[in-house]
Structure formats: structure tokens, C-alpha cells
Structure 1
Amino acid sequence: MSSPEQWTHPDGAPPATAATPTAEQVIAGLRATTEGGADLVQLLTPEGERVHHPDFDIDITPEELRGLYRDMVLVRRVDREANALQRQGQLGIWVPLLGQEAAQIGAGRAMQPNDMAFPSYREHGVAWCRDVHPTQLLGIFRGTDHGTWDPMEKRFHPYVIVIGNQVLNAAGYAMGQRFDGKVGDADGEATICFFGDGATSQGDVHEGFVWAAVYDAPLVFFCQNNQWAISEPTERQTRLPLYQRAKGYGFPGIRVDGNDVLATLAVTRWALQECRTGNGPVLIEAFTYRMDAHTTSDDPSRYRLSDELELWKLKDPIERVRVHLVKQQWADQEFFDQIQADSDAIAAELREYCVNMPDPGPERIFSNVYAEPSPVLDAQRDEFLDYVSGFAGGEH
């Protein structure tokens, strides 16, 4: 493993201190993190070759790998269709996950039915794994609702926009699992919380680390390090690889190739099992790359080089699985054609649903404010609706 100094400043390059990193500084940061370091857990290379790891290996059947491939392809198609819908004025904003499919599908499929997930706002792949239909995400980005699924039924918390706040929510929930005696054996429960590399600079994340460590909470901290916190590269946020921060809080940290769905699945299964048997928490740094903008309101060409993107395209998480399936003769053209047809169908369904979404009535802003009825809120609602009804077209 490289030293902290080598990792931060490769080849003696100066750290990025200017308001906008120079091209040389960006390249230095890329070189320092391009392969993830000696501790990176990888089971499927970018060339589609299966490799083995002494501590984190996995037996995968052809059917299971085909399923993971299907998940990633469909989730990417949903992401691209939603991105297009935003550009066409159907959504107010969209948060792309392009390039992070393996990190999310691998982690999502590692969960057991009773586990709980706390997402940020980019976890469309994890939502897919928790049986949250993509159409249920659209209202969030169209501004009509906060998500229409039941978090307890799906075991998937609503999206959180405030950076890092979900980590505190997850820590509290996992502490409750510990207090309620739901950990201690293989049938126990665990919680997994998703956040990005930028969130690790927020106090909420570190407070979550402290509470989870002190109470041995069954919580997997899953950091998707996509190399850019909007326009800030990872090298400007930390002197150490992010997974090494766990050591300071007294629990294990591990870095996995986030573009390798098999390695992510294996490592996350292990981490969740550690937690549900009472050995948590665990920090996973999924080393991946955001191949699109931070959101549709962002222009990544203003702060990163096209060469960087082209390099990461060679590590595409879906392509490496496709190549492996072909090499192993585990999939034929008929299979790939069917996946294409399935992705076309779900894209059409998503578009049809989005274009025809009804606008909510004015009473919508008063719903789900309190868990129980509130006479004061009810009076405010009635007064507001009476006011609105006095305008032309203000019926509700």
C-alpha cells in the first residue's frame, strides 16, 4: 500500500490549493487514484477476466451473473431516459448515476429482506433492488411528492437531499436495531447507508461514525467515491484514502472496485453479515466514477478533463460483465436482444408515466406533515383552500 504522502502528492506534484485546480493537479489526482491502490478488492477486471481474492471471493452462477447484468442495463436505461426527460422539461432536475451501476446493484443485491437502506439522492440502482419502481422516483424530481413508496415495506428510506444527513438517520435506526436485540446471529438485521465522497467532508457523516462505533451499531457506511464532489476532486478533500478513515473511529474500512459488480456484491455481503452478527460497523469505499454531470444543472466540462472521462470509459461496469458472459459462453445474442427489448419497454413505461403525471392539488402541501391529525394544520389548510378557490381556476 502506498504511503499517505505518495497517495496525496504523486511524483512530488504540489497539492491543489487554487480555487480552480490546474490541469496538472487534476491529472496528478487522477494518477494517484486511478487504480484504487494496492488494497483494492477486485474480482472482475475491466477486460472481463475473472480474478480471485484471498479474503473476498464469491461463487457466482451463470444465472446470477446474467441477473446482475440485466439489473445494470435496465437501471442505466432508466437513468438515461430520466435524464432526457429533464432536458425536455418534464422533470425539474435529475441526478445521474451513469458509471455507478455496479456499485449500486452489487450493494443492493447483497442486502437481505429485513435489512434497511438509507439513500442519498442518486441511489436509483439500490431502489431498483429494493423493488421500488422507477416511476416512483419521478415525483421527487418533478416536484410533486417526496416519493410514493412505503419505506418500511420496501426497507428503503426516502431520498435525502441534504448532504450527509441520511448518515445520522441511519446511525439512529441501526442503534435501534441493536437496542431491540435484532442483531447477534445470521438471521439478524443490518442497515446500510449510502453517501458520496463529498459527504465525507460533512460533520453529519463523522457524527454518524462516532455514534455507530460507540454503540456497535449494525451499520454499513457505503461511500460511493465517484472522484468528484460536484467540482471538487477527491484529492482536495482528504490526505488519505477514504476507507482508511474508519481506523480512526475503531471499525474496519475496505476499498472495493466500485465498477466491479462481483467484488461489490462480495464485500457488501461480508460487511452486512459482520453487522447483523454484532461485529459492526463497517466502512466500504466503492471506488467508482461519475461519468455524467453531478446533476442536470451541472456542467462537468468546466472542471474536469475529457481525457479523464475517456480513461474511465475503459472501466465501464456493464461492459466488463458483458465481455465475461460472452467469454464464458454464459449468454448468447438472444439473451442480449431480450435485455435490449426489456430496457426499451421500461424506458417507454417511464416516459408514458412521466408525461402524463397529474399535477397535485393545492391541498398536497399539507399532507404528511404530521404523523397524527393536527387541528391547527387542518384549520390552516381549510383557510388556504378557501382562499385559492376565490381565484379563477382555483377549484380543488
Structure 2
Amino acid sequence: MTDPFSQLPGAVNGDEGVEHFGDPVREQRRLLAGDAIVPRGDRAVVRVAGEDRLTWLDSITSQALKRLTPGESTELLVLDPHGHIEHAAAVVDDGEAVWLIADAGDAPKLAKWLGMMRFRARVEVAERPDLRVVGFVAGGAAEERAVGAALHPADRPLVWRDPWTGVGQGGWQYARVEEHPGTQLAWAEAIVDEAGAAALAEHGDVAGLLAAEALRIAAWRPRWSREVDERSLPHETDWLRSAVHLDKGCYRGQETVAKVHNLGHPPRRVAMLHLDGSESVLPAPGAVVRDGESEAGRITSVARHHELGPIALAVLTRRTPADAPLVVDVDGVAVAAAQEVVVPADAGATAEVPRITRLSRRPLAQ
């Protein structure tokens, strides 16, 4: 399927889609103002149909979905038996099917896993490579264009509105801030077909993936293709905030989620780093973050923000002090990094476990 956005003037294409259209900083501002849309070549669509779709997905994922209403948005995680993240997806239901939007590298694996888990459930799982995803910030002209171009099965536009703007029902926030930066980004994504994508491309006023990434990082928002590895627990990136319902029934990995949240601490924690821009170099994802001579963690996402300058998300060890003077290795250059704590080191252990009176070991008096 031809990408109409990649043919626009100034389009600079990367492995995942159009990175920018000539001016990433201006594109960020247009995007944030609600004027531009982003072609999300890095996202893909999976459709789950059938009368059991909501109860079935509820039983095998981290999110409470049984009472999801048509048009309502949420997100889910698929965990392994030890609570590690395997898949992540945005969720919107149209009344007849659940539409999942996942990072492009994860969508085929997610669809395959869901297909293997059907058993006797009355569901049908299908990848939809014929469809595209476009992103926008709600509240402006871009929203009107994207909603108009979106597919409308069951007379409802397929538009997912990111729940990261607040703590979801049954969720929990570890970040200790008066105002979470996620509340300021009303992000949304629309599912469009080839004709809808062509109409949006013809209109213009588009932004690239670099602009979307910069806004995401500034909002402390994790994603599967960047912040997740084989050891990732949802607590480490504050993903309990929007993708985990702590009070729902059992699902795979639920025991670990509850144990870490109520009694323990996640072994790692995400932080946002403000990078020294004087060297004019940006680290790549995977770059080592150091606290003195010790390795403190790794960069997972990086961008140049139109106001904050060079910023990054990094997954650090829990033992890394919140005030440690960190540096990032970039091609032999040590780039200084100021840490902004997202998940504190003492996150978790939230249960108020009553003290039990200890019985004396002394023999009873005769």
C-alpha cells in the first residue's frame, strides 16, 4: 500500500515512517496547537470481533474491559506469568468489535498470541495491514479532519483518546508531582483507510514522528517499542497509571503485579533526563547512563523538545540516587544529564499491612 505522506514535499522518511517534513521544531508547535496530524507509520491495527470479545480480553489482559462502552478508550498490557510486559495496545470498541492499536513491531506478535488464546471463546482476531493510524492533539482543526477521515463502523469514528491524561479507574500513579505532564497532552489516534489517508495528505499541515516523540517523552509516556524489554514490569514506567486495573479479577501476571505494588519495589525506575545540549549530540536508545563509574541504566527514548531542549527517558536501577549527577555515553563524549524523577525508588509497598502481635517465646508461668 502506497504511503501518500511519504510523497509530500520535504518528507524525510525513516525506518518507521516519515520522521519530519523539514522543520521538526515548527512541526512540534503545530502539533501541540492542534493544527497538524502525524502519520503513524510506527503503529498498526488489530481487530477483535465476536460476542465474547470484551469478557475474553478482560480475562487475559491487565485491563478491566467487561463494561467498556462503545467509543470509550483505554489501553491494556499482556503480561507473562512473572508479570513482565509482553505486549501493549490502545483499545477502542465500536459496539461490534474491539480495535487495538499497537506499535508496528508488536502488532503481528500480539495478533498471533491472541489467536492462540481463543480456545472456545467466540472471537475472531485479524491484523489489518490495509489500515493506517494518524495521531493528533485534540481540541483543534486537526481533530476535525482526523475524525472526519476515520473509519465509522457502527456509525462511530474509530478514534482512540489516550487515557494517559489521568489515572484510570483501578489504576495507580507513582509519580509524586502536583501536576503530571501527561495531563497537558490530549493525544489521540484515528484509524483510517487508504482513501482517508490520501485526503489527509492532500490537505497538508502534517508533522513527523520526531515531533510526536518529543511530546510523548515530555509527557513521561511509555511505549512498547522504546521502554519495554524482556525484564520490564509495568510499575517501572508508571504504567499502572493507565494500563493496569488493580482491582479486577485474575489474569496472567496478576500475582506479580499485586506483590510488587503491595509489598515490594520494582527493581528499576524510569526517569526523564534533561541533557546538556552544548555538545550538539544526542544519544541513541540503548546508550549507557552512568553514575560515576557505575552503570545506572540505559536511554530508552530521546528527542529535541521545542521548549525543553534535548530530553530523554531512561530506565535506571532503583539504587540510583535521585540527585545523582548522571552522564550519558555518546560516541566517547560524556553528556551531562539532570534527572527528573518519574517513578521514585520507594515506589510500591503501598499496602497497609496490620502489625501482628508477636508471641513471646518465654515459657508460660506455672
Q: Which TM-score bucket, shorter chain as reference?
A: under 0.3
Q: Which has the higher strand share?
A: 2
Q: Which has the higher helix share?
A: 1
Higher relative contact order (CA 8 A, sep 6+): 1
